[in-house]
Structure 1
Amino acid sequence: MTSPTPPTHEPSPPREPLFGTLAVIGPGHIGSSVLRRARLEPALAGRLVTTDASAEVRQIARTLALADEVADTAADAARAADCVMLCVPVGAMGAVAAEVLPVMKPGAILTDVGSTKASIIADIAPYLRDDVPFVPAHPMAGREFSGPDSGFPTLFENRWCLMTPTPDTPDDAIARIQALWERMGARTRRMDAAHHDKVCAIVSHLPHLLAFTICGTADDLAEETRSEVLDFAASGFRDFTRIAASNPVMWRDIFLNNREALLEMLARFTEDAQAMARAIRWGDAEFIVDRVERGRRIRRSLLENQQA
């Protein structure tokens, strides 16, 4: 008796690209990672265009073949695009939007990857057109490296992309940008821009502020002590220096453009740090253990959610 022939499965037909042409303005760490992923995933875009304000960065992008075309200006890159993604520092979003929006074709979508949403929405709002929807987004991914040679195609795998559409953002445009990030491997969630900024203030912006500050404190110590800090740095301090190696222009803009939420979280952290100081001063072992245990639980949750 012969074994039954296993059923054959026809390969799935290739998906149509979400966009005919995707323009990435600013091929830095995030932008170049988007371009690298799009090179491997034809379902994202049929054609890739990029540009940067720096001639040096544009040349690196050409050398690395990050896109089918490296345009000389943001307007040139955006002119024929079906989707324009702004991957520039937060403080530059408004100026770049003012350059690209007048030349974008009707029906094309403008989106961004900035870390502060309320300020970006406010900066871009004066230049918006009724026939070009704007979908604010923020991929919660990235490392301390910067520049077009620092990206990699799997950066967004299993990471969150938070989307903060305004009441005027059409549903179909939101769905297409959501699909773009999901095809890059990200998980997506929609939320209010102000809520987004508070969340990011505590999970991203405040930790960076603390890292920069601790490294500055170490650098201000007397020469002999500073040398010992660098010689004998344990993993905790090394983790802070990794975060503190991030792009200073990017983080300057983030701190200044999310100042209210960041200062609120800094004030709450300061109160908690003072409470811990009192516990140490007065030997309140139970309080100290409770805080350490809470930290351990958060770490376990991150590991379980594959976010660490």
Structure 2
Amino acid sequence: MTDLPAPLFDTLVIIGPGLIGSSILRRGMEDRRIARRLVACDISPEVRARVAELGIADQIESDPATAARDADCVIICVPVGAIAMVAAQVMPVMKKGAILSEVGSVKTTVMEAMTPLLAQHPDIAFIPAHPMAGTEFSGPDAGFATLFEDRWCLLTPPGHTPADAIRRVTNLWEMMGARVRSMTVDHHDRVCAIVSHLPHLLAFTICGTADDLADETRSEVLDFAASGFRDFTRIAASDPTMWRDIFLNNREALLDMLDRFIADAQAMGNAIRTGDEDVIVSRIKRGRAIRRSLIENRQA
């Protein structure tokens, strides 16, 4: 009888089993090559009870330090503004050579907050990750094991990070079904500002605009919503706390992309105002080409 290969991690801890965290747990429960023991941690008794009911973790804890004590890898899956606070709780108890990661969609401010903690705990490898996957739903019920299939996971490891730790986190996300790429934190935040953060800002705003219309018109908007508006409402249904933190923590890159968008929107408006068909058609064709590229890249 052939011995099974050792799992990538003996103990993998997920702090914050929401959409992303519970999806990692579900994948780990299905594929035991990822971790021998899966630990979920959350401060909410309701969340812990639901994780137990779902059966997506081998062990459930309320205290991050208790959960992380024997971990080979800890992944923090909480809103961006709370990542460093949670890291400060777990790093003092993590064993030498363990890996700490997180899944926030903003990296510059996280790295700034983490720098003094990393200096105090040089034996912990910190590898920020951002799985570019999600839905408008949140909580442990929202996750599913195939969430990361064919989606990108962006890693932004500091320059001094051990190569073996990067390899193991890369393997983890590949076992989740994701494609993996590394980049700097600044580049990451600018990319995410245009492909994720600005679209969410626009979705929240256009839904607010519709809601501010006169009562009769607003009811018609809700009654006769076309697919374009419905797509905006799906994005706008996302978690408020998470997106508040993202907007505030990626302020500069997001505002830069917003300024560019406003200029482009004004140019399109001027083309409509003056009947400039060439500009209008050119913009529409560019949008169609981007959509085709997304489909070809299996991202749509």
Do these two structures clear the TM 0.5 threshold for a shared fold by scoring above it? yes
CA distance in 1 between partners of 2:35 and 2:65 (Å): 19
Q: Does 1:191 align with 2:187?
A: no
Q: Which residue of 1 aligns with 2:276?
A: 284
Q: Which residue of 2 aligns with 1:35?
A: 25
1:47 to 19, 23, 37: 37
1:227 to 196, 219, 228: 219
Q: Does 1:116 align with 2:106?
A: yes
Counterpart of 2:297 in structure 1: which amino acid?
N
Q: Which residue of 2 aligns with 1:166?
A: 158
Q: Which residue of 1 aligns with 2:247?
A: 255
Counterpart of 2:295 in structure 1: which amino acid?
L
CA distance in 1 between partners of 2:107 and 2:2 (Å): 38
Give how far 1:120 is off.
1.1
Q: Which residue of 2 aligns with 1:100?
A: 90
Structure 1's 223 and 13: CA in aligned 2 closer, same or farther, altered over 3 A?
A: farther
CA distance in 1 between partners of 2:206 and 2:99 (Å): 41
CA distance in 2 between partners of 1:15 and 1:185 (Å): 19
Query: After superposition, what is the alpha-carbon deviation per residue over 1:199-222, rounded to whole angstroms, capped at 9, x for unaligned?
Result: 000000000000000000001111
Residue identity (%): 66
Secondary structure, in 3 states, of the residue corresponding to 2:140?
coil
CA distance in 1 between partners of 2:168 and 2:89 (Å): 23
CA distance in 1 between partners of 2:135 and 2:4 (Å): 32
CA root-mean-square deviation: 1.1
Q: Does 1:141 align with 2:121?
A: no
Give how far 1:21 is off.
0.2
Give how far 1:29 is off.
0.1
Query: After superposition, what is the alpha-carbon deviation per residue over 1:13-69, rounded to whole angstroms, capped at 9, x for unaligned?
Result: 744211000000000000000000000111110000011121211111111112111
Secondary structure, in 3 states, of the residue corresponding to 2:48?
helix
Number of equivalences:
298
Secondary structure, in 3 states, of the residue corresponding to 2:142?
coil
CA distance in 2 between partners of 1:218 and 1:146 (Å): 24
CA distance in 2 between partners of 1:13 and 1:243 (Å): 46
Counterpart of 2:111 in structure 1: which amino acid?
I
Q: Which residue of 2 aligns with 1:274?
A: 266
Q: Which residue of 2 aligns with 1:63?
A: 53
Give how far 1:12 is off.
9.1
Secondary structure, in 3 states, of the residue corresponding to 1:88?
coil
Counterpart of 1:32 in structure 2: which amino acid?
S
2:199 to 196, 200, 207: 207
Counterpart of 2:291 in structure 1: which amino acid?
R
Secondary structure, in 3 states, of the residue corresponding to 1:136?
strand
Query: After superposition, what is the alpha-carbon deviation per residue over 1:142-182, rounded to whole angstroms, capped at 9, x for unaligned?
Result: 11100000000000001000001111211111110000000
CA distance in 1 between partners of 2:35 and 2:220 (Å): 52
Query: After superposition, what is the alpha-carbon deviation per residue over 1:260-285, rounded to whole angstroms, capped at 9, x for unaligned?
Result: 00000000000000000000000001
Q: What 5-or-longer segments of structure 2 have no aligned partner?
A: none
Q: Which residue of 1 aligns with 2:296?
A: 304
CA distance in 2 between partners of 1:125 and 1:22 (Å): 23
CA distance in 2 between partners of 1:216 and 1:16 (Å): 52
Structure 1 stretch displaced more, 142-151 or 167-176:
167-176
Secondary structure, in 3 states, of the residue corresponding to 1:157?
coil
Larger CA Rg, structure 1 vs 2:
1
CA distance in 2 between partners of 1:170 and 1:42 (Å): 25
Secondary structure, in 3 states, of the residue corresponding to 1:149?
helix
Structure 1 stretch displaced more, 230-239 or 74-83:
74-83
CA distance in 2 between partners of 1:127 and 1:24 (Å): 20
Q: Does 1:216 align with 2:222?
A: no
Give how far 1:76 is off.
1.0
